[in-house]
Amino acid sequence: MDPFALLRRAGLDPGAHAPERLSGGDMGEVWRVGAWVIKTHPAPPPGLFPAEARGLAALATAGARTPQVFWAGEEGLVLAYLPPGPPDWSDLARQLARLHTHRLEGYGEAAPVYLGRFPLPEGEGNDWAGFWVERRLEPLIEATRTRLGGLAGELERFVRAFPWPAEGPVRIHGDLWQGNVLMTRAGAALIDPSSWRGERAVDLAMMELFGGFPQAFWSAYEALAPVPEAVRAALPAYQLYFLLVHVHFFGAGYLAPIARTLKHYSAL
């Protein structure tokens, strides 16, 4: 969609600014027009952008820095543009420690949530292992069953038997790779969330899966919110969630790390 059209729907005047294409990854198109960022998609699933706006608002309420949302609709989002600034890993550590140590009630979200464009089942629960397996992992296993082939059965048995550690529900970003962290003039900011009430291990697992977070971050985070050994040991198992969604969107190239993870735990 024309980014100017979304600005007009938001009641904003683009003035003489020309649209500048920004990196939108694989999940949409992103434009900067002056003081605003416009996110669109040629065929968004229903509720995708309103879900992202809710996630940004929830993270901000919980103490994270996020871009202001000026307008959200089925066609896209209009956000504040955050000018880039120097890396501030200590600031990111403080924000995430604040999110990850403030206990909430129950897991999940009553409203729709997406992981990328994958719709996560709505609903809430109090039993972490049951919620995680039934509402997060098994839907992804089912969606990727054809590509998983013989791994599907082994994976199902593993996720049902694994002793998923639980510290308690907190507000999580839900898709926290380095590309979803902006370093701005005001400090670190979080974007593109898949936010719900879950275990912080979900965020930590994604942060370690593809790297990009330096020791300066981890040292500051551990000082504020130490990670128990049981949680740290379970992070490769939690990474299966993100590997499965990558299989779903990008194909069989992500099967090998799934197989390695299962082998890692079978050898313990």
User: Which residues belong to the active site?
Assistant: 175
233: left (phi over 0), alpha (psi -120 to 50) or beta: alpha
Helix (H, G, I), strand (E, B) or coil at 177: coil
- Per the CB < 8 A criterion, the answer to whether 97 and 224 are in contact is yes
Tell me which amino acid residue 106 is.
G
Q: Considering just the CA atoms, what is the radius of gyration of the chain in Å?
A: 19
Closest CA to 60 of 98, 23, 22: 98
Please tell me the distance from the alpha carbon of residue 268 to that of residue 264, in angstroms, as a whole number: 7
Please tell me the distance from the alpha carbon of residue 54 to that of residue 71, in angstroms, as a whole number: 11
State the DSSP H helix or E strand holding residue 90, giving kind and residue range, or none if neither. helix 89-101
